[in-house]
Every structure is written in C-alpha cells, then in structure tokens.
Structure 1
Amino acid sequence: MDFGQIINLSLGYIFSPVTIAYALAAVGLAVHFGYAGLLNFGMAGFMAIGAYGYAISILSFGLPWWVGILIGCVGAMIFAFILGIPTLRLRADYLAIVTIAAAEIVRLLFTTQVFDEYTNSADGLGGYHAGFRGANPFPPGTYGFGPFTYSADQLWVRVFGLVLLGIAVYLVWALMRSPWGRVLKGIREDEDAVRSLGKNIFAYKMQALMIGGVFGALGGVVFALPSAVVPAVYQTSLTFFIWTILLLGGAATVFGPVVGAVIFWVLMAFLDAFLPALAAVGVLPITSIQAATLRFILVGVALMLIVIFRPQGIFGNKRELTFVK
C-alpha cells in the first residue's frame, strides 16, 4: 500500500473542478435552504441545465463560450421560475417531492432521443472545449508542485472556477447582509410574521429560488469544463451529495458550503483509494470493488451522525436551522 500516493490523490481534490462545481451548487442550495428555508431536492436539475445550456450553445449554435455560460444561467432562471410558480406555496415536504421529480424530468428530457440533434441523448456531449481553452491566459507548460501540479488547461479551469466561486460567495455574503437578505431570513423563521408586515412572500421565495438556481447552473458549467456532459451524472444522488456538503459545512453560512465541499471530496477520494488498498492486502474481507462501494455507506452514516449530533454543521448556528427548532 502506497500511503503517500493515496494522500497525494486525496489532496489533489482540494482544487479539483469537481470540488469547485459542488461548492458552487452548495452555495446555491444555501440560498435556497439555509437562508430562504426552501427544501429543494432538485439541484441536479439546475446543474444539468447549466451544463447543457453551455455545451449546446457552443456545439449547436456556434456561440462563444462565455455566451454559453450566460445561456446556462438564463436557462436555470427560467427553470426556477417555471418550477416556483406551482411549488413555492407548498409545504416543505411537498416542495421536496416536487423538486426531486422536476430534476428527474430534466435529466430524462436530456436523455430522450426526441432532442437527440441537440443533446446526443444518453451518449452526452463533448468537443466543446476549444473556445474556453483558446481564452486560456496561461502559456503552455506545467504549473504547481506535488499533488497540485497542473497543465495550462487544467490550471485555467481551476482558476476560472475559483473566480466564479469567489464571486458567488461574495454575492451571497452581500445579499444576506442587505435588507433583502434580512427579509429572506425572516421568511425562513416565520413567514406569517413577515407577511403581516406587508412583504410579498412568494416574490422573495421566487427570487431566492432563481438566484440559487443560477449558482447551481454555474456549478454545472464548471463541472463540464474539463470533460463532457453526460446525463447519467445528474441523478438524484448528485443532489444528495450537495446536501451532505451543505449540512457538513453549515446550511446558513457563507463559507460553510465551500469548506464542506473540500472536506467531502478529499474524504471521498481518500476512501476510494484507501479502502480498496485495505481489501487488496487482506485487511478487509471484501473485494476491491465492494470496498470502493463501501465509501458511500460510510458517507451515508456520516451524514446521519451530522444531522443527529451537529445539524448546524461545522460553521453553522443551530438557532438558524428550521428543522431543529
């Protein structure tokens, strides 16, 4: 067992595009749940719309890569608006059910052959990277050290993703310190009291759903930048991972989703390499494939323990969580 290699592989996920993408989506979910109290279980749908909007804009319509990002964000806003009209007046448990179904509908629409000309159905989309890589400001070469060694294209994806993440974190911080954010948190605590003050509860919830959805779409874009867009990725499990990240870092916090994403993916990468290595040397009486699957069981148990013993997360305040009142 090469423990040093396992550590290097795990540390490499600190700045991985996957980590950055999930952090962006978790920031959006923090707006939905942590600050607005919306129990959204359809973040995978927002990520899929962002990724497909980006890829289809480039491949099918020949638009610049940055226009594709904007189209992905607009698509997420339209999806949030359509989703919010019938659902934002529902109770939290019904909202969760509807958002799960909506995300699955989005994934199946991208999978069906009806739109094969644009989505390539179940095979997904690829080959849309030329424009983004052409905008790379870093000369060809190798950058970094140790587990943080990247090519110019890999560095560009990470820097661009971190810039988007930084903007998202700052916007959430600024919004939640504004009067709009204080009203939103008031809705989370007691929407009847806020309604009695003459505030339009539905409008505030809709705005929160759209803003958080845009951050989810940006997460989908970053997720698609270094690889391909495959519909099988955007399953319900993706949303559950984002929820784990949010609850780990803290639901009603600004930096909690970012730290939660780093911890989650470093731990997942570590277990993905460490558990099969233990199985290979006979420490675990299971096969390497079974050992790789075991990490999901451990993550599920960890999520249960977090909700039971520290539901506010690492940085969260227990008084700000609606489900532990």
Structure 2
Amino acid sequence: MFDILQSAFHDAFSPMALSFVLAAIGLNVHYGYTGLLNFGQAAFCAVGAYGMGVTIASFGFPLWLALLTGIGCAVLLALLLGIPTLRLRADYLAIVTIAAAESLRLVFSTTFKEYFHARDGVSAFTSEFRSMNPFPEDMGSFLTFSRNDAWVLLVGWVLVVVVCVLLFLLMRSPWGRVLRSIREDEDAVRSLGKNVYFYKMQALVLGGVIGAFGGFIGGLGLASVQPDSFNTDFTFIAFTMLILGGAARIIGPVVGAILFWGGLSLIGSVLTKLSTGENAIIPASLMSSDQVSNVRFMVVGLVLMLLMIYRPQGIFGDRKEVALDAR
C-alpha cells in the first residue's frame, strides 16, 4: 500500500504534472477569466519547448536566450491566432486553435528534420540548466525524485508561485476586472468604451506565454521535446484539470492538476494490483494487466462525469464561472 501511495505522490508532483499545472494556469487566463475557448494550449507549450530546445541543440544559444526565444514564439503564435479570430464569436477561436495545434504537431513531426528530428524529438539541450543544479551529486533520491528532477521541481514550483501571485494581483486590478466583465458580457464592456479586442489579445498572449513556461518545464524534466507529447489530448487534459480545480480561481488549476495525476496513478496502481499476481481479485477475462492503462482513464472519466453533474464548478469554483457567453 505504501508503494502505491508513493507512486501516486511521485506522479502528482512530477515534472510532467508540473508542466500541466502551468498549461492549466494559462488556460485559466483564457477560459476562466476572459471566456476565450482556446482548444490549442498544446501549441503554446510546443512552440515554447521547441523554441528553447532547438535554439540550444542546433544553434548553441545560451539558456536565457533560448527561453526568450520560446517566449517570443508563444507571443507570435498568440498574435497569429488572435488577430483574425478575436473579433469573431468564441467558437471560431476554438476551431482555429485546435487546428493550429494539430498542424504544428505535424510540422514538428515531418518538416525541418535537421532541427526538429521528426518523431525522435529534440534532445541535448539540458546541460547548462543541469550545471546550475544546487543539489549535491551524492544526494541520492529526494522524496522519490532524482537529483535532476528535484532541480526541475524546485525551479518549476517557484515559477508556479510567482505566476500565481502575479495573476492574483492582475485579476484584482482594473485590467483583471475588465477581463472578467468581457467574460460575462463583452457588449456591455464595449458600450463603456473599452477596446474588447485589445484586452482579449492581451489575455491570449499572457495565457500563451504561461503555457510556454509549461513547455519549458516539461522539456527540461524529460530532457527531450517530442511532437507526440503535444497532441490534442494535452489540451483537453489541461482543461479537465482546470474544471476539476475550479475555473477563475488562482489555486484551481494547481490543485486540479495534482489531484488528476495523483488520482490517475493511484487508480492505475490499484487496478494493477487487483488484476495481477496469484491473489488477483479481478479475473483476466474481465480485465488483463495490459488493459489497466485504458481502464484507469475510464474510471477517471466516470468520476469527472459525476463531478460535472453534482458540482460543475469544480472544487473551488463558483457555478457562474463556468457559464460562457459564446457570442
């Protein structure tokens, strides 16, 4: 039982989970606070990760310049997606973003192979980051995490705290109140003389840059950036985490991501234990060990369906925060 809980703890706070935390925080800016239906958050994470990885691995840029390149790529992507769509209805942005995310994934998989390395992905870009690791080399494992993972987690969680504090201040400023008003009724905001299009663009850029931070952490944690890591499932899992924790709440996506990955790992470990070994409770005719990975998503999906029925606002959210005026 201890091993199961230890595994769940590890997955809940792993660098990959932390990558989703930042992606979900970015979505919270888009959907939770502004009402923008961005179904392509994976694209912002991907351009951030590839912008960092390619500039280091292929061009030898220093880490700080590579990070700025990834941020610049996320800003450029937000402008390219937002300029033609943010004056239209919310569903147009949803269509454009999900198409852009899938198109970028295919571009990274099939073009410029000397830089993107197709499905093998980009690697050999973490040496400078790991050279700054303050943890001693003989530290062994720290709470089930390796020395390199511990360094990524330290940087990542500090980044999460900084981003959350920044958003807390922004959303209580006049700028943040305008975003909330746009989510509720953008026509009313427009009638007061506010440039709704400009505010939406700012929110799209900010959430996209935070998503790029998630790409940075994921890439540094895995020491590789691969296109299949940024498929459509990535965005919808991040949305699930956001809704689970509660939209338009600073802490919502953070808690939602931790609970999702921890719960997914816990359910998978329990199902594996119940379906394997001499004392297996679940017969092989009902579920084999090879089917555990799919069944655990079915169980999590059932739990989320019940959550949407009985508490659609999530754990910390307010029911009105999930109501969207998609005009």
* TM-score bracket, shorter-length normalisation: over 0.9
Counting only pairs closer than 5 Å after superposition, residues 168-207 of structure 1 correspond to structure 2 as 168-207=163-202
Residue 273 (structure 1) aligned with residue 269 (structure 2): yes
SS at match of 1:13: helix
Task: For 1:179 and 1:7, locate their aligned partners in 2 and report how far apart those are by CA, in whole Å.
Answer: 44
Q: Report the Cα offset of residue 121 of structure 1.
A: 1.2
Supply the RMSD in Å over aligned alpha carbons.
Answer: 1.6
Residue 140 (structure 1) aligned with residue 137 (structure 2): yes
Tell me, yes or no, if the aligned pair for 1:142 and 1:150 is still in contact at 8 Å: no
Tell me: CA distance 1:84–1:44, structure 2 relative to 1, closer, same or farther (3 Å).
Answer: same
Residue 308 (structure 1) aligned with residue 309 (structure 2): yes
Q: Report the Cα offset of residue 226 of structure 1.
A: 2.2
Q: Report the Cα offset of residue 324 of structure 1.
A: 9.4
Task: For 2:228 and 2:10, locate their aligned partners in 1 and report how far apart those are by CA, in whole Å.
Answer: 24
Tell me, yes or no, if the aligned pair for 1:318 and 1:324 is still in contact at 8 Å: no
Q: Report the Cα offset of residue 168 of structure 1.
A: 1.1
Tell me, yes or no, if the aligned pair for 1:271 and 1:292 is still in contact at 8 Å: no
AA aligned opposite 1:35: Y
Tell me, yes or no, if the aligned pair for 2:275 and 2:281 is still in contact at 8 Å: yes
SS at match of 1:139: coil
Tell me, yes or no, if the aligned pair for 2:248 and 2:317 is still in contact at 8 Å: yes
AA aligned opposite 1:124: G
Identity of aligned residues (%): 50
SS at match of 1:314: coil
Match 1:156 to one of 137, 148, 151: 151
Task: For 2:255 and 2:209, locate their aligned partners in 1 and report how far apart those are by CA, in whole Å.
Answer: 20
SS at match of 1:73: helix
Task: For 2:208 and 2:58, locate their aligned partners in 1 and report how far apart those are by CA, in whole Å.
Answer: 24
Q: Structure 2 unaligned runs (5+)?
A: none
Task: For 1:14 and 1:58, locate their aligned partners in 2 and report how far apart those are by CA, in whole Å.
Answer: 29
Residue 294 (structure 1) aligned with residue 295 (structure 2): yes
Which is worse superposed, 152-161 or 32-41? 152-161
TM-score (norm 2): 0.94
Task: For 1:271 and 1:292, locate their aligned partners in 2 and report how far apart those are by CA, in whole Å.
Answer: 10
Q: Report the Cα offset of residue 126 of structure 1.
A: 1.2
Q: Report the Cα offset of residue 200 of structure 1.
A: 0.5
Task: For 1:252 and 1:143, locate their aligned partners in 2 and report how far apart those are by CA, in whole Å.
Answer: 39
**2:253 match:** 257
**1:11 match:** 9
Task: For 1:133 and 1:222, locate their aligned partners in 2 and report how far apart those are by CA, in whole Å.
Answer: 13
Q: Report the Cα offset of residue 312 of structure 1.
A: 1.1
Q: Report the Cα offset of residue 144 of structure 1.
A: 6.7
Q: Structure 1 unaligned runs (5+)?
A: none
SS at match of 2:123: coil
Which is worse superposed, 68-77 or 246-255? 68-77
Tell me, yes or no, if the aligned pair for 1:140 and 1:151 is still in contact at 8 Å: no
